[in-house]
């Protein structure tokens, strides 16, 4: 099978509705890319697939898939599937990793030692300076800096790595045919010009959607040995990254700050729960043990250890979801939270395997 044909089948796999990534990969392992799409309806039914999923395999939208291929070629976007040797091996060890990633730039960075640096979009000047300084120093020690191309801490982390002539990866929550936020178009170009990497799990044309950012954060933490939170509020995407890092059995680092600054509350909370306090770069380097990393990127997936800290991250919103179909409107009414926040937090709970999306709403899982 040619590379182009393989890409088409992986895109067709991506568009099977309401099917977990792990289940999709299991089907590919059992039947191969070509074999899966040659199964008849009875065979697909025996695989436990519902009618909509069966139709997505029996009659893939080849026009849509060919259009995506053309868009990727136009914007110099490459694809990598989870069976590829260059797919980030640490991400493969995480819970429910994407089966297909889109990228521009240096594919070799996927399996280089990475540290995620994340934090507030409205960070203080001193926090931005610290993010840039730590990124610079980590880069000088051979660490790839991974972040989300957002304003604030993220962009400072990328720039710190670039100023050190180091490597940086930007994981984004849109299609790679666009840059979000637009003000970072030059930064994105500089990352690519300096042999960096920009990554997304979303097809070209995908706009910035609030529900996409928590999933973006799980990729950032999933590819990294540890996540360093420089400045963050209690309710923030940075703490989603920290939660994900804990669940993926990765290190969490946090920088303390002034006790009267609301932007440092998230970091102080993480430190109270056992995150490693960082005030100099050696606090990170000594924990990572860079001499022992060579085998980590070729090892079998780790079992996630039972960490009592994870229990502290269970969203109280979970109590608003029943063991039978609960509509989003019902969850909004019970929690008295804005709909947008409820949707984001439900997605986080779904990523953690605590709820599942069903027609008409969500169901709590055991």
State yes or no: pLDDT of 306 exceeds 90: no
pLDDT in tens, 308-318: 444 445 567 88
Q: Which CATH number fits domain 314-364: 1.10.10, 1.10.540, 1.20.140, 1.10.3470?
A: 1.10.10
pLDDT in tens, 208-224: 998 899 999 999 999 99
State yes or no: pLDDT of 291 exceeds 50: no
Taking the domains of the chain in order of start, what are their residue ranges?
3-74, 104-298, 314-364
Identify the band that residue 288 occupies on the pLDDT scale cut at 50, 70 and 90: confident
**Distance of alpha carbon 38 from alpha carbon 44, whole angstroms:** 10
Give the pLDDT confidence score for residue 294 in this predicted structure: 47
pLDDT in tens, 264-281: 999 999 998 889 999 999
State yes or no: pLDDT of 304 exceeds 60: no
State yes or no: pLDDT of 81 exceeds 90: yes
Q: Which CATH number fits domain 104-298: 3.90.1170.40, 3.40.50.450, 2.40.10.480, 3.30.70.1250?
A: 3.40.50.450
Q: Is the pTM of this model over 0.95?
A: no
């Amino acid at each position: 099978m040619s590379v182009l044909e393989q890409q088409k089948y992986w895109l067709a796999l991506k568009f099977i509705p309401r099917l977990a990534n792990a289940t999709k990969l299991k089907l590919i392992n059992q039947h191969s890319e070509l074999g899966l799409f040659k199964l008849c309806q009875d065979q697909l039914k025996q695989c436990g697939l519902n009618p909509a999923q069966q139709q997505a395999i029996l009659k893939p939208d080849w026009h849509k898939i060919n259009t995506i291929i053309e868009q990727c070629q136009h914007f110099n976007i490459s694809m990598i599937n989870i069976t590829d040797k260059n797919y980030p091996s640490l991400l493969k060890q995480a819970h429910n990793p994407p089966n297909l990633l889109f990228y521009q730039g240096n594919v070799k960075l996927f399996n280089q030692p990475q540290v995620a640096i994340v934090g507030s979009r409205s960070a203080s000047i001193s926090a931005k300076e610290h993010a840039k300084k730590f990124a610079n120093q980590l880069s000088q020690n051979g660490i790839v800096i991974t972040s989300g191309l957002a304003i604030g801490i993220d962009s400072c982390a990328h720039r710190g790595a670039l100023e050190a002539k180091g490597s940086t990866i930007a994981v984004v929550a849109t299609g790679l045919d666009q840059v979000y936020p637009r003000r970072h178009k030059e930064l994105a170009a500089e990352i690519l010009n300096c042999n960096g990497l920009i990554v997304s799990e979303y097809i070209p044309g995908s706009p910035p959607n609030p529900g996409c950012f928590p999933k973006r954060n799980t990729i950032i933490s999933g590819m990294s040995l540890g996540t360093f939170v420089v400045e963050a509020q209690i309710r923030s995407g940075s703490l989603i990254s920290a939660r994900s890092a804990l669940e993926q059995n990765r290190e969490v680092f946090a920088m303390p700050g002034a006790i009267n600054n609301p932007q440092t509350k998230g970091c102080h909370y993480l430190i109270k729960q056992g995150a490693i306090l960082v005030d100099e770069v050696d606090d990170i380097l000594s924990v990572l043990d860079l001499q022992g990393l060579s085998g980590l990127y070729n090892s079998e997936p780790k079992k996630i250890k039972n960490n009592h800290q994870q229990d502290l991250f269970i969203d109280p919103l979970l109590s608003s979801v029943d063991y039978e179909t609960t509509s989003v409107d019902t969850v909004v009414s019970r929690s008295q939270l804005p709909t947008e926040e409820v949707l984001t937090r439900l997605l986080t709970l779904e990523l953690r395997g605590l709820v599942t999306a069903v027609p008409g709403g969500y169901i709590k899982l055991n």
